[in-house]
Amino acid sequence: MRIVIIGNGVAGMEAAIAVREAEASWQITVISEESDHFFSRTALMWVCCGQMSHRDIEPFERDAYARFGFRRVRARAVGVDTRGHRVLLAGGLSPVPYDRLLIASGSAPRRGPWPGSDAHGVGHFVTMQDLSWYENEIHGGASRGGPPPRATAHLSATTADSPYQFREPGAELHGRVASKPAVIGGGLIGIEAAEVAVAAGLRPAFFIREEWFWPIALEPREAQWIGKRMGEHGVEVHLNHEVESLEVDPIGAVSAVKTNHGPYEADCVVIAIGVVPNTGWLANSDIERDERGGIVVDEALQTSAEDVLAAGDCASVRWFDGSRRPEQLWYTARDQGRIAGRGLLGNRSSYARGTWYNSAKLMDIEYTTAGLVNFDLERETNWFFEETGKVRSTTRVVSQDDRVVGFNMLGRRWDHTVLIKWIEERRSLSWVLPRLHQAAFDTELVPPLQAPGV
Amino acid sequence: MDQQGQNGLLATYREGWRNRGVLGFVISTMLIAFYVVLYWEHKVEARFGVAPLTALSESIGLRNRWYLYGVLYSVAMVGGGIYYLRRHGNSRYNRVRITVNVAIQIALGFTLPFVMPLFGGQEVYFSYFWPLKYDYLYPQTLESLPLYFAVYTVIGSLLAAPVLALVYGKRWYCSWVCGCGGLANTFGDPWRHLTSKSDKSWRFEKVSIGIVFVLALATTALIVVDWKIGAQHPTLHRVVAGNDWRDWSLKSFYGFAVGAVLAGVVGTGLYPLFGPRVWCRNFCPMAAMLGLIQKLGRYRITVKPGMCISCGNCSTYCEMGIDVRSYAQNDESFTRASCVGCGMCAHMCPRGVLKLESTGRRSLAVVDS
């Protein structure tokens, strides 16, 4: 049996390993344009700062392909011939035949819609190549950990529209590294890009279109609280700033961000306005995609084409609220990869999503969420507490009709499994609050949360 | 405190001296040279006619070079402790732990042994136990110690240390009390990310620390036997203890190979190249003993399921070379013999996935390895 997997991110690798664990003799080919090794995309910012090396963000040792017996193809897939059961490659490489195929091509950064978005000094922060670009802009080169192995191996088999193309830094044109970076887009990648700049001793400008930071996850009180911390770290936060264009100087490098509140000087701009499914390369293949570009899959992650599955960021799956869209999270990609692995083995099993939860780290503030927190539910009430003193935190418990439906926690650590259990048990606020400390997951010696009713 | 606590951490890989750059090799060479002179100054003196450390000690009014070493050790721990707090001080566990560890070194590892002889007392170390301080269970040593201290060290080594390791894990010693661990976590902290996480290094560690542990047990046992019956068995006495301190015997070999070469020259000299726990991870017999006990006890690292993003901050900053991520990404709570419970994995985790625990509650499965 010939298994082909496009993408060596967490979904692709989980599936590949699941197949190998069950079938020692099957031929498994992994096609990756971006990198030789599976790495944790969520850790790119730490490589850029210098807190980690490329080797550090790879979950397996570098002999993993050999150990698992995976064949590696480092090239860009440009289409799937579903009738001929072949994956087409760029660079004149011969197509790869498959008996069963998994597409796990992940996300690509959403491109800037503004004039000047392609200028030197403008980039994104999603791919390994984006990391290389941003490192060059901010630091003038890779850290002591060095670049990843065979960083440019894909360039002989790629296309001009690939998200894995290298961008030339504006720093090279100026003959110096960036001194005034700007970040556009008030989400998680944006705050990471800003933190990278702060770690390099710079004061980045952070342009956010909305009234507050990260409105899909935070309410104004929480966002203001984060905004204050960003300010203390040296980030210049500009709310309600709509970008109109990026100004380009005569040598072709970005020089300013023009907004509805006027222009701001900038010699490096990170556009962090979200990601889209990395499926543009499927335009001429008869695999059904939705209007967002996500590959349409059923409960078992089967696509419209026979023997083709899709998992991870590129697949539109059913959410807890019944809608179908891509789910751009690490742990869901991991879970989907495992389901897809079973599918590749010929065992149909279903991907079912339970109660929503997630976590993040915003500068030095940890964030945990579970349930429905920013849905403006009917008859919704919010219990909110801001803790000052030794530990700074905010706690928000969302209830509907005296049933707790969500938690939004900043600054402390919480065990989401306990929070989810309470939501699913339909507990009331007066039941939950006195027991809140049972869900605490702070490191040892941290004083417990003291709040009225808790 | 929250923000200051991360100073320099983000730039770890951007500084050559912390990443096997030229300066890293220079620091390592200097440390090795220092330890060689410290341990074998009589040979240096025989060859070059100078005893540099003794001369320096006497010129600043210290009794001998070991006091100079004590001063330097304490200074390195205080300076390194400040560095540590700047990098990781935004964790309360780290703050308390490193403060206690440095305080114990200053009080019990330096001041008390320094002061006691001034009042006619004996130089004793309350913070070191057998088998790390291997001669503290040698009968000849016990006989020469004040009775209260002989009782303290026997009970401490054979009863208190193992029991505390059962209850709290080996961290009570390796990360809160021990001077070697203290130096590693303060002066050695700039290099903590350099400890190898490879499977190969794990295999090496298991063999090497096992060999030293067996050697430590055998040496102590044979010295006890020799003390009992050595007078009637001159060959045994010659092999185990030697007739003269210059003789090569099991006792002097252990002191040379483990006490000087592995703990000092290799253990500290290689900080800038292989991370600060070379000795603790690969050779320390105390760590080996407490590690085995730890596997039977309550201590564990609890993993919150489904939240790990495989970023690897935990593994990168594990000074013992444990690939914490490999457990976390599989939602497996675990106890590893080598874990000294420094708390860094839990502190570094950006998703709050890890928690050090030594409570009786075992809510999540613990995997053995």
E-strand stretches of A17-143: 27-31, 70-73, 77-81, 86-89, 96-97, 100-103, 107-109, 122-123
Is A315 in a helix, a strand, or coil? strand
Return the pLDDT at B366: 43
**Chain A contact probe: residue of B22, B333, B351, B357 with most A CBs at under 10 A:** B351
Contact B14 A143 (CB under 8 A): yes
Where residue A225 falls among pLDDT bands split at 50, 70, 90? very high
Topology of domain A111-273 in CATH is FAD/NAD(P)-binding domain (3.50.50)
Q: Which residues of B touch A441 (CB under 8 A)?
A: 304, 352, 355
Residue B90 in this model has a pLDDT that exceeds 50: yes
Phi, psi of A271 (to 5 degrees): -90, 115
What are the Cα distances from residue A146, in Å, to A4, A52, A55, A135, A149?
31, 11, 9, 11, 9
Where residue B368 falls among pLDDT bands split at 50, 70, 90? very low
Does residue B283 share a domain with residue B207? yes
Structure token digits, residue B272? 């800038």
B357 inside domain: yes
Which CATH code of 2.160.10.10, 3.40.30.10, 1.10.1060.10, 3.50.50.60 fits the domain covering A2-33+74-108+276-344? 3.50.50.60
Listed by number, the residues of chain B in 299-338 with a beta carbon closer than 8 Å to a beta carbon of chain A are 304-313, 315-316, 325-326, 329
**Min Cα–Cα distance to chain A from B210, Å:** 25
d(CA A6, CA A170): 32
B273 inside domain: yes
Residues 6+ apart with CB under 8 A from A44: A57, A125, A126, A128, A130, A131, A192
Return the pLDDT at A122: 97
Number of domains in chain B: 2
Q: Of the candidates A157, A163, A159, A207, which has an alpha carbon nearest to the alpha carbon of residue A187? A: A207
Last residue in a domain, options B289, B307, B322:
B289
Give pLDDT tens digits for A52-92: 999 999 999 999 999 999 999 999 999 999 999 999 999 99
Which residue segment(s) compose the domain that B212 sits in? 199-289
Q: What is the CATH number of the domain that holds B327?
A: 3.30.70.20
d(CA A299, CA A61): 33
B96 touches chain A (CB under 8 A): yes
Q: Which residues of B touch A446 (CB under 8 A)?
A: 92-93
Residue B122 in this model has a pLDDT that exceeds 60: yes
Return the pLDDT at B367: 41
d(CA A46, CA A54): 9
B298 touches chain A (CB under 8 A): no
Could you say which of A53, A57, A331 has the minimum Cβ distance to residue B307? A331
Residue B1 in this model has a pLDDT that exceeds 70: no
Q: Which residues of B touch A43 (CB under 8 A)?
A: 309-313
Where residue A281 falls among pLDDT bands split at 50, 70, 90? very high
Looking at the DSSP assignment, which residues form a beta bridge with residue A362? A365
Does residue B320 share a domain with residue B269? no
**Min Cα–Cα distance to chain B from A94, Å:** 34
Give pLDDT tens digits for B260-304: 999 999 999 999 999 999 999 999 999 999 999 999 999 999 999
Residue A149 in this model has a pLDDT that exceeds 70: yes
**Min Cα–Cα distance to chain B from A83, Å:** 37
Give pLDDT tens digits for B165-175: 999 999 999 99
Is B121 in a helix, a strand, or coil? coil
Higher pLDDT, A79 or B364: A79
Last residue in a domain, options B266, B289, B312:
B289
Return the pLDDT at B4: 58
Does this chain's domain A2-33+74-108+276-344 share its CATH topology with A111-273?
Answer: yes
Does residue B239 share a domain with residue B273? yes
B2 inside domain: no
Residue in A with minimal Cα distance to B3: A364
Does residue B304 share a domain with residue B275? no
B171 inside domain: no
For residues A331-358, give the mean pLDDT.
94
Last residue in a domain, options B289, B322, B340:
B289
Task: Mention the CATH class of domain A365-439.
Answer: alpha beta
Contact B11 A59 (CB under 8 A): no
Give pLDDT tens digits for A244-258: 999 999 999 999 999
Does residue B302 share a domain with residue B280? no
Residue B363 in this model has a pLDDT that exceeds 90: no
Number of helices and strands in chain B (H, E): 21, 4
Mean pLDDT for chain A overall: 96
**Min Cα–Cα distance to chain A from B101, Å:** 16
Return the pLDDT at B121: 84
For residues A253-266, give the mean pLDDT.
97
Q: What is the ipTM of this complex?
A: 0.95
Does residue B332 share a domain with residue B305? yes
Q: Which residues of A touch B313 (CB under 8 A)?
A: 43, 46, 51-52
**Chain B contact probe: residue of A138, A228, A363, A445 with most B CBs at under 10 A:** A445
- DSSP for A129-185? HHHHHHHHHHHSS--TT-PPTTTTGGGGG--TT-TTS----HHHHHTS--SSEEEE-
Residues 6+ apart with CB under 8 A from B221: none
**Chain B contact probe: residue of A230, A367, A441 with most B CBs at under 10 A:** A441
The helix (H) or strand (E) run that includes residue A384 is strand A380-387
B242 inside domain: yes
d(CA B332, CA B324): 10
Looking at the DSSP assignment, which residues form a beta bridge with residue A181? A268
Residue in B with minimal Cα distance to A357: B307
Could you say which of B3, B91, B312 has the minimum Cβ distance to residue A43? B312
Residue B164 in this model has a pLDDT that exceeds 70: yes
Structure token digits, residue A385? 């507490």
Residue B369 in this model has a pLDDT that exceeds 60: no
Report the percentage of chain B scoring pLDDT > 70. 96
B250 inside domain: yes
Contact B92 A443 (CB under 8 A): yes
Count CB neighbours of B47 within 10 A: 8
Does residue B306 share a domain with residue B354? yes
Return the pLDDT at B17: 95
d(CA B210, CA B282): 9
B234 touches chain A (CB under 8 A): no
B350 touches chain A (CB under 8 A): yes
